[in-house]
Amino acid sequence: MRTSSLAVLLLVACSTPSTPIDASSDASSHVEPDASQPDASQPDDGGPPLPALRAPWRREPSFPTGVDHHATAIVESAAGAYLYVLGGMTADSSGRPLAIHDTIHRARIGDDGALGAWELERALPAPLAFHVIATTESTIVLAGGVSTRDDGSLGWIPFVMWSSVDDEGHVGPWQGLEAIATATLHGAAAIVGERLYLVGGGAGAASSHTAVRSLRVAGGVIDDARDETALPAERSHHVLVAHDGHLYVAAGFAGPPAPATSVVRAAIGEGGVLGAWEDVGALAEPAWTASAIEREDAVMMVGGGIGGGPTDRIVRLPFDATGHVGAIEELAPLPYPRAHVHQTPAFGGRVYSVGGRRAEGLGQASSSDVYSATLDALASP
């Protein structure tokens, strides 16, 4: 995994939105299979086969390294659908960062939903972790996060950057726009219509904010950044979904770092302008760094952490006829507790989970595990 410090390049190049930015002058869309890619059931050290996962989960090819605070997305192209993993960090069991990554990997999704081998794609403009991701058609958008400075310290990135996936499923050059005024780590993003919404976040577990920012996303160009109605209270480590003309925010932390029990929503009005936020429910045990999957009549929240450690819980938050959230329903759990994943993208009725942190000793360490399950199976406790 490449971990060279390119934060200066990012800060300079992103100030000009029309100028593509890239990690190196010789970067290309050529894909190279990762030589370290293990078999789906074989651990990296060549030891005994990994144990089978409990139903309904299926083990997929392991990621080349343990990774968390990364971003994942599925984009469908003429060459097929691919699962992409962008950036992230590797941490030891104490949570100490061992590496911040500038790599992009992809794995093709087969007709049966199984992942192929992980392949190395074009690098990010700089090492990046704690960022948020949103996609629309062939466009991948990343926002915020942290990168490494020349002296090895970490600094937050006040930029939105984007790239397009071509017909062969390759990630193209990156462009950027300085559009974030407040540190955005553990925030959330969603694209609705032609607007990208960046909601909440902060500088860490003990520092969060209420800011909501939106930008126009159209024709491979991102512009028209503006402030939207702020959240009613600080929120970070949360989930964000769009449902029935509203943005919903749930779980995470409300301030430093108290669990956020309220579920709030804001209507998306004409021109994508957000209305006032309103309470539409409450959670008795809100998870932090869970991921969310929006379904027709509910939100599925996957994993994350409860209290001081990761959880294997998958819960369903149903919407009633007024758009309020009803009582939590327990679904089939993850194979084991894991947190700091943030996205579990779905395609073809199947959901995919990559990396994150799992309990190790008295702490949590980065995982290279990848697994998938059908959404229908998860909905059966």
pLDDT of residue 251: 96
| pLDDT of 129 strictly over 50 | yes
Q: How large is the average pLDDT for residues 14-36?
A: 35
Provide the 3-class DSSP secondary structure of residue 270.
helix
Q: How far is residue 336's CA from residue 364's CA, in Å, rounded to a whole number?
A: 13
Determine contact, residues 210/161, Cβ cutoff 8 Å: no
* Residue-wise DSSP of 320-349: -TTS-B---EE-PPPSS-BBS-----EETT
Q: How far is residue 226's CA from residue 67's CA, in Å, rounded to a whole number?
A: 33
Q: Rounding to the nearest 10 degrees, give the CA dihedral for residues 101, 102, 103, 104.
A: 120
- C-alpha distances (whole Å) from 92 to each of 223, 313, 356 are 39, 24, 12
Q: Is 324 exposed, middle or buried (0-12, 13-18, 19+ CB in 10 A)?
A: middle
Amino acid at position 299, single letter: V
Determine contact, residues 360/366, Cβ cutoff 8 Å: no
pLDDT of residue 102: 97
pLDDT digits (tens, 9 = 90+) for 326-377: 999 999 999 999 999 999 999 999 999 999 999 888 788 999 999 999 999 9
Q: Which residue has the higher pLDDT, 33 or 57?
A: 57
Determine contact, residues 264/248, Cβ cutoff 8 Å: yes
Q: Which residue has the higher pLDDT, 205 or 249?
A: 249
Q: Rounding to the nearest 10 degrees, give the CA dihedral for residues 340, 190, 279, 308.
A: 0
| pLDDT of 300 strictly over 50 | yes
Q: How far is residue 302's CA from residue 290's CA, in Å, rounded to a whole number?
A: 5
| pLDDT of 36 strictly over 90 | no
Measured in whole angstroms, how far is the alpha carbon of residue 310 from the centre of its chain?
A: 17
Lowest-confidence region among 39-43, 98-102, 227-231, 304-308: 39-43
Q: Rounding to the nearest 10 degrees, give the CA dihedral for residues 258, 259, 264, 270.
A: 60
pLDDT digits (tens, 9 = 90+) for 248-262: 999 999 987 789 999
Rg for the chain, CA atoms, rounded: 19
Amino acid at position 346, single letter: A
Average pLDDT, the chain: 86
pLDDT of residue 199: 97
pLDDT of residue 49: 66
Percentage of the chain exceeding pLDDT 70: 86
Give me the residues paired with residue 317 across strands. Answer: 299
Question: First and final CA of the chain: distance in angstroms?
Answer: 38
CA-nearest of 134, 199, 182 to 161 is 134
pLDDT band at 22 (very low <50, low <70, confident <90, very high): very low
User: Which residues fall within 8 angstroms of residue 25, CB to CB, at 6 or more apart?
Assistant: none
Give me the residues paired with residue 331 across strands. Answer: none
Sheet strand arrangement including 314-318: 291-294, 298-302, 314-318, 329-330
CA-nearest of 202, 142, 213 to 176 is 142
pLDDT digits (tens, 9 = 90+) for 47-95: 556 677 888 999 999 999 999 999 999 999 999 999 999 999 999 988 8
